[in-house]
């Protein structure tokens, strides 16, 4: 028997581990079994959001149903953490006389160490892993010295060169499934299990299953992608792809998305001036952060990429942190964004930059606390992206925003939500304020002696000066 072990790759399309497991089974006349192992305590240790757990559960059920329909048994197992996972895998492979264990590799350091322990402890079973989470293979995009780029723009140039010259292939896992279903190995009598995780969950049904995404949302997005560069920074309109939750759990393949983009815009890799390149640029950023984690695994331990900032002694005022988490900073764009996060499990990308900058540079709170809070709430949480984004905002990371660049939340609000449409959707108490006053309504509130909205917890100019002094301390 062969086992395909699903982890952060909850899909049948472009799944190299699934394809390889089936091909070997067909060639050697042995059955395939699928496996997913839930690890609630490990998820808690990693601050995994309850809404993402629910989203994952729904997609594991989808994959289980589809594999069962193709005659492949699906088993759901439960463990506390990765240590138990290793023990279970070894025991299961011995019990079922497993010849080949197939999985798509995971990037994070604990997951890498877990797989190393599995490989060391397996007897009589070969463990095959494949790369399925990036477009350009990790380790292939290097500078002339053979090292990982530490600045995004030259990484992008080399990424494009690698993809153009080497290309990339999609795993034909769907065809393999069809071949398996028509073979004598398929088991037509099995039933799909009920997938239930014994873990904290928050309803994710506002996000459709990936099957609906592929048939409705993705084609629609490719029709409007030419406006992505103009629309993606405006949180009040539906200008982003909303694909990040699916990428985060591996329900969508990044290669498939780029392949489809190349089909729609054939010259996209050679012409950065085309409007659609703005979206491809985001896929390249995603690869950049994943390549960084591959080359610098210590980032998984929440280390500053630039170690000179280890000298920073963050004040971490608990009152200010609580106000930020609850959306009570007195800066409407920040508060509306935090409400969006807590209420929906998602936050617009421009707003992520604004609130991260505000936390680290206005409130002088360690980026790691903000990163953890995002992890606990985001349906699209991904360690590489979240770590990279937070360190960019804090100025501590690779190719980061310089510490002296400090977003003014009022001007950011005026620029990206000029009519206050987004603010009003999450701060209804400000709905009657004018488009001019809604971005910082405190003069009006003071004149009217109104308390419908909380006061600003810091003053921008003073906070900016404090931040500059604070960051300069790392230079001494």
222 is in an annotated binding site: no
Q: Which residues contact residue 61 at a Cβ distance below 8 angstroms, ignoring those fewer than 6 apart?
A: 192, 194, 195
How far apart CA 252 and CA 222 sit, in angstroms, is: 15
344 is in an annotated binding site: no
Where does 124-193 have alpha helices with state H? Answer: 152-166, 173-181
Q: Specify whether the CB–CB gap between 389 and 352 falls below 8 A.
A: yes
How far apart CA 419 and CA 148 sit, in angstroms, is: 43
279 is in an annotated binding site: yes
283 is in an annotated binding site: yes
282 is in an annotated binding site: yes
Which helix (H) or strand (E) segment is 56 a member of?
helix 50-69
Q: Of 346, 310, 423, which is closest to residue 51 (Cα–Cα)?
A: 346
2-6 β-sheet, strand order: 73-78, 32-38, 2-6, 100-104, 126-130
Q: At what angle do helices 82-95 and 109-121 cross, to 10 degrees?
A: 30
240 is in an annotated binding site: yes
207 is in an annotated binding site: no
159 is in an annotated binding site: no
Give the CA angle between residues 188, 53, 242 to the nearest 5°: 95
273 is in an annotated binding site: no
380 is in an annotated binding site: yes
115 is in an annotated binding site: no
156 is in an annotated binding site: no
DSSP code per residue over 30-55? --EEEEEEE-HHHHHHTT--HHHHHH
379 is in an annotated binding site: no
331 is in an annotated binding site: no
Where does 381-455 have alpha helices with state H? Answer: 383-394, 409-416, 421-426, 442-448
Task: Say if strands 73-78 and 32-38 run parallel, antiparallel, or are unpaired.
Answer: parallel
228 is in an annotated binding site: yes
410 is in an annotated binding site: no
180 is in an annotated binding site: no
242 is in an annotated binding site: yes
Could you tell me which residues are annotated as the binding site?
A: 228, 240-244, 279, 282-289, 380-382
Could you tell me which residues are annotated as the binding site for FAD?
A: 228, 240-244, 279, 282-289, 380-382
């Amino acid at each position: 028997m062969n086992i395909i072990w699903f982890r952060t790759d909850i899909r049948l399309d472009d799944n190299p581990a699934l394809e390889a497991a089936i091909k070997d089974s067909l060639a050697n006349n042995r059955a395939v079994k699928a496996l997913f192992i839930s690890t609630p305590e490990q998820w808690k240790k990693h601050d995994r959001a309850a809404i993402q757990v629910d989203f994952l559960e729904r997609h594991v059920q989808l994959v289980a149903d589809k594999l069962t329909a193709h005659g492949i048994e699906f088993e759901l197992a439960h463990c506390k953490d990765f240590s138990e996972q290793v023990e279970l895998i070894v025991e299961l492979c011995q019990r079922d006389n497993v010849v080949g264990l197939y999985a798509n590799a995971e990037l994070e350091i604990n997951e890498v160490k877990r797989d190393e322990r599995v490989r060391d402890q397996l007897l009589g079973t070969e463990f095959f892993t494949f790369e399925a989470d990036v477009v350009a293979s990790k380790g292939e995009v290097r500078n002339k010295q053979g090292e990982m780029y530490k600045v995004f723009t030259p990484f992008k140039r080399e990424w494009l060169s690698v993809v153009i010259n080497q290309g990339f292939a999609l795993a034909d896992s769907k065809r393999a499934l069809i071949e398996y279903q028509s073979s004598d190995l398929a088991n037509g009598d099995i039933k799909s299990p009920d997938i239930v995780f014994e873990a904290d969950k928050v309803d994710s049904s506002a996000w459709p299953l990936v099957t609906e995404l592929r048939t409705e949302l993705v084609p629609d997005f490719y029709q409007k992608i030419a406006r992505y560069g103009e629309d993606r920074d405006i949180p009040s309109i539906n200008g982003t792809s909303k694909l990040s939750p699916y990428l985060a759990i591996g329900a969508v393949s990044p290669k498939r998305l780029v392949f489809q983009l190349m089909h729609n815009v054939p010259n996209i890799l050679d012409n950065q001036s085309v409007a659609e390149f703005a979206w491809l640029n985001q896929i390249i950023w995603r690869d950049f952060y994943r390549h960084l984690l591959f080359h610098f695994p210590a980032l998984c331990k929440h280390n500053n990429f630039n170690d000179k900032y280890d000298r920073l002694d963050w004040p971490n005022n608990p009152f200010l942190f609580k106000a930020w988490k609850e959306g009570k900073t007195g800066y409407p764009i920040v508060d509306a964004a935090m409400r969006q996060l807590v209420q929906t499990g998602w936050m617009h990308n421009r707003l992520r930059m604004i609130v991260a900058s505000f936390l680290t540079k206005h409130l002088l709170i360690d980026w790691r606390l903000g990163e953890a809070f995002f992890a606990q709430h985001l349906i699209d949480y991904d360690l590489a992206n979240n770590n990279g984004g937070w360190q960019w905002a804090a100025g501590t990371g690779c190719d980061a925003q310089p510490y002296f660049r400090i977003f003014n939340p009022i001007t950011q609000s005026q620029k990206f939500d000029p009519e206050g449409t987004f603010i009003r959707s999450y701060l209804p108490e400000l709905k009657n304020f004018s488009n001019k006053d809604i971005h910082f309504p405190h003069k009006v509130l003071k004149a009217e002696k109104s308390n419908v909205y909380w006061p600003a917890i810091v003053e921008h100019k003073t906070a900016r000066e404090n931040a500059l002094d604070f960051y300069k301390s790392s230079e001494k």
